[in-house]
Structure 1
Amino acid sequence: MTYLTITYNQRDALLLQKNLQVLSVSELFTEISTKKCLYTIPGLVSRSFQCLTSIQHDGISSILNDAPPLWIKYGIKSVEEPPSIINAKNGKLIRASFGYLATNVTYSWIKQIQIPNRWHSLEWKTDASRKYVAVTYKNDNKIMELRLTQECLDKYFMVSTHNTGKYIVILPLKTTPRCCNISLDRRQKYQRILSFKGIDGVCLSDCSAICLQFENKKSLDMCTIFLQNIMKLDCHFGPINCIEAPNQTLNFDDTLSDFWSSYAFQMLLTLGYRIKNQITELTLRKIYQLSDVSRDEQYPKHQCYLKLLALYNKVRHDRFCDINQEIDKIQPILPSTMLDKWMYVPRAYLTPYGFIPLPIKPIRGNRVLREQELFGPPENYCRIIIRDVDLGQPQQDLMRISEEWIKNFIVGKNFITIGNRQFFFLLCSNSQLRDKSFWFHAPYFDCTAGDIRKWMGDFSHEKCVGTHIARMALSLTGTTPTIKLLPHEMECIEDKVDSQGRIFTDGVGKISPEALRQALMAYDSNLIGEDYMPCVIQARLNGIKGVFVLANDLKDRGVLIQYRPSQNKFKVDHNILEIIKHSSSGMAFLNRQVIVLLENMGVPQHIFLKLQNKARLNISMSLLANKSAQRTLEQNVRSYDWERMRTSGIQLTKEPFVRSLLLLLASERLKKLKEKSHVQIPLSDGRMLLGVVDETDSLEYGEVFIQLRDLNGQCEILHNRKILITKNPAHFPGDIRILNAVDRPALHHLYDCIVFPAKGDRPHPNEISGSDLDGDEYWTCWNEDLINNATEQHIPASFNSAEKEKHNDEITISTIADFLYKYFLSSDSLGVLSNRHLAYCALHGPNHEDSLNLAGIISQVVDFPKTGVPPKVPTNININRYPDFMENKHRESFESDSSLGIMYRQVKDVWKMHLQWQNTFEEQNIIINPDLIIEGYADYIIEAEEDYKYYTSRINTILSIYNLENEYELITGCHSCAEEERQNNDSVETASLEFRYLVQEMRNKFGKDELSYTAQLRKASACYYVAYKAGTILSFGWIMDRLMSAIMKRKQIPREEHQALKSIGTALYNQGLSTQIREQVSKWQIDDANWMNYSETEVLGDQFLKIIEQCSRTHEGVELANEYLRILHKIAIKKF
């Protein structure tokens, strides 16, 4: 049995109708879902068939003989893992060309490389461990190499059948490939370069496909097998004509009428030759005309921006889109709803090849941005993110050849041009520094970036360049302004210090109840309840940074803030309290560094496996049991009343919209288990908490106070319990402390934070990774298994930072440029050193001398921005073998017998099974549930369709801006975009916020109609019907989730008891495992007290789960628990 997929352009559908009819009526072919056979190609249509007998290309060609041009693919998607050892392949190329796919049957090249003589060679080669294909050009003693990685290539490639005897492959690109020189001497020295044998950066960045012509068929076949089996790309055969692209004669340098038009047009042009070489003079004239019409409009209602953004979104995802046809058809995207207290600032990537504007999205404002009368509106700023040519994080190899380029931008020799505005370097916040991103500013009247830096405050006393920059950057921290304080409402009080001058109160101030109430009302009034408000805020005030803690001793003094010298960083007159975040208790997770240190403290392997097994059990059960699904959804998706939906009779694990959310959450949680050992600690056993200090002197050294508040407002004080405490990342053996949680009445006004004592030989936060209390969050855990076994408490490391490097002369912008460049070079070593430390710990343990040395150097790297002293990276601490759980592609790996190794291998098997199922999972048709359709719903269909159109357009815009695959990624926060994009500018937070605002907008609109309750139910039912009939953006049907729950509840459908146990039991019977399970019940002495009212299959299902739970508790049962959890997850995904 084989599979056949035909892919074609939609405009050819009518011409293909007869040929497809032949396949459809043939007894040899059965049409199936395309998802099993290939990845979807935007802009093209695919149809897949299952063939009862093996088929030859010639046989299919005869059926499609008179058909218009199309692509043919054989087989299903390649999802199996390749063999662990695969020999490298290589062969000769006749030519390599760089261009774009003009249509699905035409490849246009701009430049090409051919072999000039026999002393030069053009070849292809593969690297299976790092999963890339390279094009190499050999000349004398050097090899130029252009690497085509999985991240760089699209999910498919084409083998041209146009010219017999020419062995051609076309590789569509997602990003620009990297180039390097490799010397042929013994050292095999690798050096990054920014061009490839005459193909310059402009051509490399503008081309969106590469064409390789192989010397012979054998060479082509070897390469295509590698691309399919190792790189997991779909292979299509099609008559693609490779031609030289016509010369581009249009001038794109003319400035459009206004800034927003220019910004959007430059964004469109970054899509490269497929825009620049195809756009006609008529289309260009239409863009200029639209710009003229929009010249007086502003974001977000600027029509030219909205139209060009719609075009950009369309063309970016559909490489076959014809912009000249699309410009008249496409509708401008709907204007975004402006989020309250957020700002909309241009943002762009800056690569060695150019400037890439990105769609506008909200960011939190800051002190500088809010001074619009002085420095201009938000569009006078631009967030510049430095990236490599493939938009990945720039590493040392690029940094070493980019010193002049980077420094010229910082000192102002180079600038960014958008339309008629020139943007110059301003500064970067502390978080931006780590991400290699900056603020740029365009002069506003006579005000320049230099003037803004002077306005920020007086930093003349700070002679350490790193600290100087950090102090200036405090003005750029994302904050929300609240109350303005008068001079008498701010007081300086003394810090509390130990005998060596270490500060117990480092970063902590006090705030009166009235001041806190007023500030929180301005920040977010929803945080304040009748008897509750957060008790800690992290904030900025003048030149003061840190946290302010509710102080009951100030309740009779009105509005008052007391700050400490440790908080006061510089002089400035800006007495508005700006809040960054407030106290709350978040979920705590185990991670690899914490597991290594806990194992070193005596925790045995089966304890970690027990916690991981519980996490795995929760993941699988969330797909099987409605109650488990509810818990998972409540923790991750808070826009809906999940309990109400479940208790109304809605089957969460079967409902198509909810089921898709659960599947995505399950995939994300399994992936984090495999890649990071990210094991959730139950909320009853641990939290992430802001650290504060005991102002009442109630706590002794070794004690902490923790009071937690649940969603129902109930408080629990941890009393007479040992607590494990650390701060991420943790590297030293003593970074995890064991302290005693006690109850102290004087601290009862503090909750959802951890209170440390102000007494003792040394501040506890300083013992924990050398941290302080200016906003640090602490990992706190009181899980009994971990506490009872972590018996070896290690001495805390001494965290004495290197003496700050002083700069006695004036700190100028050139000084800042030198420092930032040095920082970029050193910061790249942080990830390398952390990985090396983890590998050393896996081999030798955290107490080994080399592990301790690496931990110390990592601490120096972290402190570099404060001290200005670059760390000395050791040359004598190297590692040639990495543990398997690190999945290192560049070094030999070994099977680690540590807890991390065992945890990794157990979950890897499940992840592999899950991924294979996910890649071939055939999405079922969306079925409308008749129980949710009520009489009279049809009266509201037209209105619901209008609302659906608006909502869908808004959702699709958000998806495009944040580069998300679907609405489920948006709603869950499980973003599939690159890690750098997830981390940069709070993308997950702002995307989620935009979704919540949209849902609230739709709910408000629904309420404005002032319908009767019966009419509301009918309209909600109509919304559900419209969304499910369309089969996409199903969340529209659940905007009024409470009304939908009410509809279901009225049906009074009896709920099926123990439906998950029944599903599990039935599957176990079908697999012939019932006898084995009964034997294990006897062996493990499973209690049968609760089985009186269960059916036989339900009993079997419950026995199975109890065996997993029982086996997870002991070392002897680990393997059986793992095997049964694999079976359980297979049942869970097969159920879908």
Structure 2
Amino acid sequence: MGQCFSSTYATVEVSPNEVDKELPEIERNSYIFSDGIGKITPDLAMEVAEKLQLTVNPPCAYQIRFAGCKGVIACWPGNNDGVRLSLRKSMIKFESNHSILEICSWTRFQPGFLNRQIVTLLSSLDVPDDVFWKMQQRMISKLDRMVVDTEVAFDILTASCADQGNTAAIMLSPVSSPKQNLTFAACWFSETKKNLQVIKGFVVVAKNPCLHPGDIRVLEAVDAPELHHLSDCLVFPQKGDRPHPNEASGSDLDGDLYFVTWDENLIPPSRKSWIPMDYAQQKKNVCLVQLVRSEYGAHDEKCIKLAELAATAVDFPKTGKIVSMPPHLRPKLYPDFMGKEKYQTYMSKKILGRLYRLIKDTYDKDVEEASSDVTFLPDDIPYDSALEIPGSTDFISDAWAHKCSYDRQLNALLGQYKEFRQVFDKLGPNFDQLSADEKNGVYEKKASAWYQVTYHPSWVKKSLEMHKVDGAGGRH
């Protein structure tokens, strides 16, 4: 039933004679290598892209809901037999006459980030703790500098922007390859698809939640020119004893996102994967506690058992199987980085504890400085007069009003979207009729005005005076 309540975009109607629901499955060793993956012809894929207004950079695969079917369809040339949409038995969940192709998501660049589970497992696989420590220190340094260095700020923003992808870790959707001899492939394009970047060599692949050391897969990425039309996605092979997606947290090909990194520093020294857990036979926070508490990390027997229980618990909506926590696996102490203030905690000496305390100490220091009686003058704030452009004065009063509103509602972040949306709505009903250059001109003028009322010494002085009147005072 949950499938019926997925958030989707209705796109094109596909007639029954254009659909083949009998695309053969690839099965071996009781595994379905093609589980959840189908095909869509390039012409139909383009029609879908047009409906979604994605023609500038058309996706190569879509996560879909169609006539009781769910899964991912990858763009693949047809056989000139009139069939435009090919589905497999593993994709059919119930029968329906609904003929609208509904889209849940599509392939696109998404920055990847390390989390507690991935860091813990990589550390257990002998990635030096110093690697994570240096990565965090570099990030803290960049965040400190971005308020005074425009180049650093630009680099941080573009690294997190889907249209300007430039990173050594990304989140990708999976598809399956009909090439039997393909070891593993991952590739993605730039925004214009003119500069193809194919990732080759060892990579780390994981899918959250990942609790078992075998959930971290060390694979070899290869260049397959005939698959270059598949971008922003993983292409898994059909060969082997077990599907790679299934090895990674018991996943499949029906739309899960995978963390992928080719950063040499994050590749386990052994260049090999731990034996994957058998998810076919089988509480997140509790498992993490054991991971960092145990001398053996992710290889601890209790951690392995908890990973199995977690895998079963995650599948409860599908299987209805309830997992109970054995008393001997319940933690009595929690590591400090989990913030369990109501429970007894200890100072974790593992990498997660060290990373946590570095951030906490930095935060506490910033809060202490912010709450102190340190005074500053408006002229102390770096201000770039080059950002004052002709015409921006027309927006100053409006910008100042919004700056005051922002200062008063700084902690109400959820309400800020509405504020920003209203700014552009006020530009008038004819705004959409402006050319791209005219729109950019308005954006630049408004941005310049907002910058001025935030950082220009005279406006900073005015803002401080208002805060004193309101009883706020101090820094903001």
TM-score normalized by structure 1? Answer: 0.36
Q: Which has the larger radius of gyration?
A: 1
Aligned residue among 597, 600, 617 for 2:121: 597
1:915 is displaced (CA, Å) by: 2.8
Structure number with the bigger relative contact order (C-alpha 8 A, sep ≥ 6) is 2
What is aligned with 1:528? 55
Does residue 550 (structure 1) correspond to residue 75 (structure 2)? The answer is yes
Match of 2:142 among 603, 606, 618: 618
1:1008 positional shift: 6.1
Where in structure 2 are there 5+ consecutive unaligned residues? 457-474
1:684 to 1:933, Cα distance in 2 relative to 1, 3 A: closer
Which of 855, 878, 899 in structure 1 is aligned with 2:351?
899
Is 1:477 the counterpart of 2:2 in the alignment?
A: no
Distance 1:739 1:510 in 2: 25
2:196 to 700, 704, 715: 715
Aligned-partner residue type, residue 549 of structure 1: A
Task: Give matches, 1:866-877, under 5 Å.
Answer: 866-877=318-329
- Answer yes or no: is 1:784 the counterpart of 2:234: no
Q: 1:586: Cα distance to partner?
A: 1.1
User: Given that residues 39 and 85 in structure 2 are in contact (C-alpha distance below 8 angstroms), is that contact kept between their aligned partners in structure 1?
Assistant: yes
Contact 1:537–1:583 at 8 Å: present in 2 too? yes
CA contact (8 A) 2:159 2:166 kept: no
* CA distance in structure 2 between the partners assigned to 1:717 and 1:885 by the alignment: 37
The 1:993/1:712 distance shift into structure 2, 3 A limit, reads farther
For 1:298-347, what per-residue CA distance to the aligned partner results, in whole angstroms no more than 9, with x for missing partners?
A: xxxxxxxxxxxxxxxxxxxxxxxxxxxxxxxxxxxxxxxxxxxxxxxxxx
**Alignment RMSD, CA only?**
4.0
| Contact map agreement 1:514 1:559 (CA 8 A) in 2 | no
Change (3 A) 1:757 1:998: farther
TM-superposed deviation, 1:874: 0.9
Q: Distance in 2 between matches of 1:787 and 1:537?
A: 30
User: Is 1:855 aligned to residue 319 of structure 2?
Assistant: no
| CA–CA separation in structure 2 for the residues paired with 1:732 and 1:520 | 38
Structure 2 partner of 1:630:
154
Deviation at 1:910, TM superposition (A): 1.3
Is contact 2:17–2:82 with CA below 8 Å preserved after alignment? no
Output the CA distance in 2 between the equivalents of 1:1007 and 1:474.
36
* CA shift digits 1:784-843 (9 cap, x unpaired): 1222525563110001256xxxxxxxxxxxxxxxxxxxxxxxxxxxxxx32221111112
- Report the CA distance between 1:733 and its aligned residue: 1.4
Deviation at 1:519, TM superposition (A): 0.9
Instruction: Say which of 290, 293, 304 aligns to 1:840.
Output: 290
8 A Cα contact 2:111 2:160, kept in partner: no
Q: Secondary structure at the match of 1:789?
A: coil
CA contact (8 A) 1:690 1:776 kept: yes
The answer on whether the counterparts of 1:538 and 1:548 sit within 8 Å (CA) in structure 2 is yes
Deviation at 1:518, TM superposition (A): 0.4
Q: How does 1:1074-1085 map to 2 (within 5 A)?
A: none
CA contact (8 A) 1:696 1:746 kept: no
Q: Superposed, which structure 2 residues align to 1:45-60 within 5 Å?
A: none
- Match status 1:580 vs 2:5: no
Range with greater deviation from structure 2 (867-876 or 731-740) = 867-876
Counterpart of 2:337 (choices 880, 885, 889) is: 885
- Residue in structure 1 matched with residue 213 of structure 2 by the alignment: 733
Q: CA deviation at 1:922?
A: 7.0
Q: Distance in 2 between matches of 1:551 and 1:1001?
A: 45
Contact 1:937 1:1019 in 2 (8 A): no
CA distance in structure 1 between the partners assigned to 2:188 and 2:418 by the alignment: 26
- Residue 184 of structure 2 corresponds to residue 704 of structure 1: yes
| Cα separation, partners in 2 of 1:497 and 1:874, compared to 1, 3 Å | farther
Query: Within 1, Cα distance between the matches of 2:241 and 2:167?
Result: 32
Q: Distance in 2 between matches of 1:638 and 1:688?
A: 11
**Measured at CA, do residues 698 and 1032 of structure 1 come closer, stay the same or move farther in structure 2, by a change above 3 Å?**
same
**Given that residues 495 and 504 in structure 1 are in contact (C-alpha distance below 8 angstroms), is that contact kept between their aligned partners in structure 2?**
no
Give the secondary structure class of the aligned counterpart of 2:267. Answer: helix
How far apart in 1 are the matches of 2:391 and 2:250? 66
Contact map agreement 1:933 1:1022 (CA 8 A) in 2 = no
Q: Is the 8 A contact 1:512 1:560 kept in 2?
A: yes
Instruction: For residue 474 of structure 1, report the CA deviation from its aligned partner.
Output: 1.5
Match of 2:229 in 1: 749
Counterpart mapping for 1:23-38 below 5 A: none
Contact 2:172 2:232 in 1 (8 A): yes
Return closer, same or farther for 1:590/1:581 CA change in 2, 3 Å cut-off.
same
* Deviation readout 1:241-282 (Å, 9 max, x if unpaired): xxxxxxxxxxxxxxxxxxxxxxxxxxxxxxxxxxxxxxxxxx
Q: CA deviation at 1:948?
A: 6.6
Instruction: Could you tell me which runs of 5 or more consecutive residues in structure 1 were left unpaired when the two chains were aligned.
Output: 1-471, 644-681, 803-832, 978-990, 1035-1134
Asked whether the equivalents of residues 934 and 1018 of structure 1 are also in contact (C-alpha less than 8 Å), the reply is: no
| Conserved 8 A contact 1:498-1:763 | no
| Residues 497/931 of structure 1: CA separation in 2 closer, same or farther (3 Å cut) | closer
Give the Cα–Cα distance (whole angstroms) in 2 for the partners of residues 582 and 543 of structure 1: 19
Q: Following TM superposition, by how much is the alpha carbon of 1:697 offset from its aligned partner in structure 2, in angstroms?
A: 3.1
Deviation at 1:612, TM superposition (A): 1.8
| Secondary structure of 1:880's aligned partner | coil
Q: Could you tell me which residue of structure 1 aligns to residue 241 of structure 2?
A: 761
> What is the TM-score with the length of structure 2 in the denominator?
0.82
Distance across 2 between alignment mates of 1:628 and 1:598? 28
Pairwise CA distance, 1:590 = 1.2
Residue type of the partner of 2:55?
I
What is aligned with 2:466? none
1:772 partner amino acid: D
**CA shift in 2, pair 1:934/1:890, >3 Å:** closer
Does residue 1002 of the first structure (1) align with residue 427 of the second (2)? Answer: yes
Distance change in 2, residues 1:931/1:497 (3 Å): closer
1:995: Cα distance to partner? 4.5
Shift of 1:580: 1.0
Residue 795 (1) aligns with residue 279 (2) = no
1:814-963 matches, within 5 Å, as: 833-844=283-294, 845-919=297-371
